[in-house]
Chain A
Amino acid sequence: MIQLSKFSSSDLMMIPPGVSVTFENVIYPIPGTSDNEENSVYRSRSNMIDYIENIYIFKNSKEIKMFLISNYDLIQILLDAQKHIYKVFGQVPIYLELYHDPEEEWDELFILIKTQYSPEEAVNLENQLFEEWFASILDKVSGRLNFTEEPL
């Protein structure tokens, strides 16, 4: 018997935190690599979403994946976001969390950038990230994606 789980099927293939990642233990399918080309539109979307989970730490994995299935255009933006965030904040942990307002039936995906900067420095860097990256995609994400800095 199978039952609903808070995990998704791709979690079965995830690399657990703290495990050293080498080519040998990356069993997870990486989309777009030549030996593992996925030509199915349906499954390549699913693989991309799984891949995003290697970049971001998902706070509510199942909800985020369901949201991304319906908002597939955000995938490329999330892939691009990493380099902009690293450029401004350095290599810091980045989380994704889906905020849900049941009364308004509103969902918004938040990129949470975890840093050890002082509040003042963090605000300055947030502003810099907004100007250098987020302002240019604001019209595309139309209230579905946002970011914020949080203390580590």
Chain B
Amino acid sequence: MGKKYKNPPVVETLCEFNFIPNQPWDLTIPGLIYEKLKDEFPDRKQQIGIDVEFKATEKGLEHIVEPALPRVQFYNKDKTALIQVAPDLLAVNQLKPYPTWNKFKPMIMEGFRVYKEIVNPKGFRRVGLRYINIIEFEKTDIEIKDYFQYYPFIPGNMSQLHGPFLTRVEFPYEEGNENLILTLSSFTPKKPDIISILLDIDYAMVVPEYISFEQISEWLDKAHERVENAFESSITNKAREIFKEVKL
């Protein structure tokens, strides 16, 4: 069991399922899924999305913006969680406040159960469990390594003072059938004079059909444990002080 925090930095957790279809996508599917989920997720929305096409013309390269493939979102009453459905995609998102794994996992399982029952896909193409953390510092500069164990290494003969950054590492698991992507980067803050840092941890099964539908519950627990380990390994005790660890 992982540590608990009074002010956890997690702003969003999501479970993404990409499926191998059994049959062509039917536009009535989102409506059928909504019927099953509307008690818990009554607020139906079409996500703002865009597709971009580049086209060579006499004037040069022009880009054409078109509406994206249909993606429907079902929000719960207080807008803290949603289920997204698009062709061969199901995503279950939990926004702030994160209610603990014991409550988030059943929501994922219920979304998956409904999708599987209605769409009857062939198998998983990819499954990912992702935790997005934003850590805000009301300071004009910070020493990253005071708060993170994972950070960009700046060679000694270069300026140690730097601006925006992005570090991303993929760690293979299960002989490359799964991976964990750890991303640490600066992030546009909501207000001035704040440094925002994003820690995005994404554990995924990346080889199609490496796990079956029957194994999903067990897989989710494993993924959650690995994400949690990656989080705890990436931060320092000074960061834990900000998050205010709750001693159990």
List chain A positions with a Cβ less than 8 A from chain B: 1-5, 7-13, 20-23, 30-34, 37, 39-44, 46, 48-49, 51, 54-55, 62-63, 65-66, 69-70, 75-76, 79, 82-83, 91
Task: Let me know if A70 and B14 touch, CB within 8 A.
Answer: no
A-B CB contact pairs (8 Å), 24 listed: A1-B141, A1-B142, A1-B143, A3-B161, A4-B193, A8-B186, A8-B188, A9-B186, A10-B164, A10-B188, A12-B164, A31-B49, A31-B68, A32-B52, A33-B52, A39-B89, A39-B91, A41-B93, A43-B12, A49-B188, A51-B52, A69-B190, A82-B65, A91-B59
**Interface majority SS on B: helix, strand, loop or mixed?**
strand
- A85 smallest CB distance to B (angstroms): 13
Q: Does residue B100 face the partner (Cβ distance < 8 Å to A)?
A: no
Q: A1-B162, A21-B54 are in contact. Are A43 and B143 (CB under 8 A)?
A: no
Q: A2-B141, A3-B162, A32-B49 are in contact. Are A66 and B54 (CB under 8 A)?
A: no
Task: Let me know if B165 and A2 touch, CB within 8 A.
Answer: yes
Kindly count the residue-residue contacts between A and B in the assembled complex, taking CB atoms under 8 Å apart.
122
**A61 and chain B: residue at smallest CB distance:** B188
Give 5 closest A-B pairs by Cβ, nearest first.
A5-B163, A3-B141, A32-B68, A9-B164, A39-B91
**Interface majority SS on A: helix, strand, loop or mixed?**
helix
B52 contact set on A, CB distance < 8 A: 30, 32-33, 51
A48 contact set on B, CB distance < 8 A: 48, 50
